[in-house]
């Protein structure tokens, strides 16, 4: 078994670290946060909400197979394999901000020893592994890539809240800067991960070597950008269906009965660390890109379009108390990265409403820290808009929102039977508002 360092103990890196430890590797987790390091050393997850992490972390610490440190360079110097999982974010100009990743790469390079394998799991623009990361590792270490050390890209493909299941469910993609680097990475992951049987795949589930770092980079960007473009198309259909008086969801179901149609569901916003970000990373590597940028424009506009629909349904919003249901970017996950709640709140305020926010996963102090005014079910409100598809909202009705005169369901999660007598509009359902209005008469 190998000595492994995982750089970045966030929501992907820490589950990876405990997975490697469970496979028998001697693992060091490196992070710039002393608080995160202290929590990991105490056997406590530094963030909530990842099923299975607490027990696996406690086990890894109890067996002394995992330790944590802020000393990335020293950890790399003692490792056979270094896995980097530091986020690459986008700046206000929607260009990649490489500062955090560059700092991590430079720290690893300063400790890199001959014979080491460096794997980057961070999602990257195409050519970044070969043209940016590998030269930085060489400059910091004085070693020759492909001769003295190996470099591979292996993009993480997991989601918060299901990391361990996703590690087993999806093939692990690898691509090296040369054939030997890819083979070394494939051997490491094959010895470290366990995979579910997937008879639906064209080849057995496991480690798939794509032959180059660029192929692995593009595979991750392709799968996530596809989702954003698909959602944008569904949102275009939803807005048209709304105007045409049609219910889009059974139409999508009908279209998808043909095996070459895979339409996603429309929604009020696309959030999270991945889907709203990775099209910009793709565009950073492909200056000629057009469709991904148009999809981003469509999806970014959906919160304001939904608020406009609510205003039309309610006969105006000025001075009205508007309950926004859900600050999380998606149901069941306590995470606000690129959440649609913030643009919804802004759009409501621009139309003169008084935005109030409820979320079953967040307390009042947490909402206030986000600059939001908390709302509690049972308090009076005039209108409401569902932003996150939390399971609790499937059972919500007018009695939970006293005085509510209109509901815009941006996720099609509420039960229309509970909303008889109150105008309710589900995104993509141009018939629901009419039905509710008829029911009132």
17-56 exposure pattern, b = at least 16 Cβ within 10 A, e = fewer: bbbbbbbebbbbbbbbeeebbebbeeeebbeeebeebeeb
Structural domains of the chain, with CATH: 3-211 (3.40.50.720), 294-440 (3.40.50.720)
- The chain-wide mean pLDDT, for the chain, equals 95
pTM of the model: 0.92
430 — pLDDT class (breaks 50, 70, 90): confident
Of 50, 57, 91, 87, nearest to 335 by C-alpha is 50
Q: Both tokens of residue 63?
A: 């067996």
433 — pLDDT class (breaks 50, 70, 90): low
Placement of tokens 């961070």 in the chain: 122
Residue 187 clears pLDDT 80, i.e. is over it: yes
Q: Are strands 117-120 and 150-153 parallel, antiparallel or unpaired?
A: parallel
Residue 266 clears pLDDT 60, i.e. is over it: yes
pLDDT at res. 428:
87
Residue 267 clears pLDDT 80, i.e. is over it: yes
Q: Both tokens of residue 406?
A: 């209109």
Q: Are 283 and 289 in contact (CB under 8 A)?
A: yes
* 327-377 pLDDT per residue, tens: 999 999 899 999 999 999 999 999 999 999 999 999 999 999 999 999 999
Placement of tokens 């700046």 in the chain: 91
Please state, in angstroms and rounded to a whole number, the distance separating the CA atoms of residues 169 and 292. 27
Share of residues in the chain with pLDDT > 70 (%): 98
Q: What is the CA radius of gyration of the chain?
A: 24
What are the backbone angles phi and psi of residue 174, rounded to the nearest 5°? -135, 150
pLDDT at res. 437:
40
Residue 230 clears pLDDT 60, i.e. is over it: yes
């Amino acid at each position: 078994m190998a000595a492994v360092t995982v750089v970045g103990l966030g929501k992907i890196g820490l589950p990876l670290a405990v997975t490697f430890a469970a496979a028998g590797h001697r693992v060091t987790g490196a992070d710039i946060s002393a608080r995160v390091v202290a929590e990991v050393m105490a056997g406590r997850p530094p963030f909530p909400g990842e099923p299975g992490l607490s027990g696996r972390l406690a086990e890894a610490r109890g067996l002394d197979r995992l330790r944590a440190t802020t000393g990335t360079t020293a950890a790399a110097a003692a490792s056979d394999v270094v896995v980097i999982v530091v986020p690459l974010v986008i700046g206000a100009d929607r260009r990649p901000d490489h500062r955090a990743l560059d700092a991590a790469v430079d720290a690893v390079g300063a400790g890199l020893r001959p014979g080491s394998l460096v794997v980057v799991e961070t999602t990257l623009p195409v050519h970044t592994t070969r043209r940016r990361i590998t030269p930085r590792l060489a400059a910091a270490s004085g070693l020759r890539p492909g001769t003295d050390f190996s470099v591979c890209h292996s993009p993480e493909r997991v989601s918060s809240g299901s990391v361990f299941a996703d590690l087993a469910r999806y093939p692990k993609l690898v691509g090296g800067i040369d054939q030997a680097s890819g083979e070394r990475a494939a051997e490491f992951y094959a010895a470290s991960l366990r995979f579910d049987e997937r008879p639906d795949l064209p080849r057995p589930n496991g480690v798939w070597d794509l032959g180059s770092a660029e192929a692995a980079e593009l595979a991750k960007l392709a799968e996530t950008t596809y989702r954003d473009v698909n959602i944008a198309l569904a949102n275009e259909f939803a807005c048209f269906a709304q105007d045409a008086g049609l219910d889009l969801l059974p139409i999508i179901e009908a279209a998808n009965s043909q095996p070459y149609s895979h339409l996603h569901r429309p929604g009020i916003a696309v959030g999270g660390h991945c889907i709203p970000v990775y099209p910009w990373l793709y565009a950073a590597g492909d200056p000629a890109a057009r469709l991904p940028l148009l999809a981003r424009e469509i999806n970014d506009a959906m919160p304001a379009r939904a608020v406009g629909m609510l205003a039309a349904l309610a006969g105006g919003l000025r001075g009205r108390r508007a309950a926004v249901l859900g600050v999380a970017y998606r149901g069941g996950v306590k995470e606000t990265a690129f959440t649609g709640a913030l643009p919804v709140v802004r759009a409501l305020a621009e139309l003169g409403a008084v935005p109030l926010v409820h979320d079953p996963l967040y307390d009042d102090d947490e909402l206030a820290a986000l600059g939001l005014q908390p709302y509690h079910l049972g308090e009076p409100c005039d209108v409401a808009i569902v932003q996150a598809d939390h399971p609790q909202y499937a059972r919500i009705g007018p009695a939970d929102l006293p005085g509510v005169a209109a509901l815009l369901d941006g996720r099609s999660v509420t039960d229309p039977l509970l909303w008889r007598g109150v105008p309710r509009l589900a995104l993509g359902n141009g018939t629901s508002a009419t039905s509710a209005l008829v029911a009132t008469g």
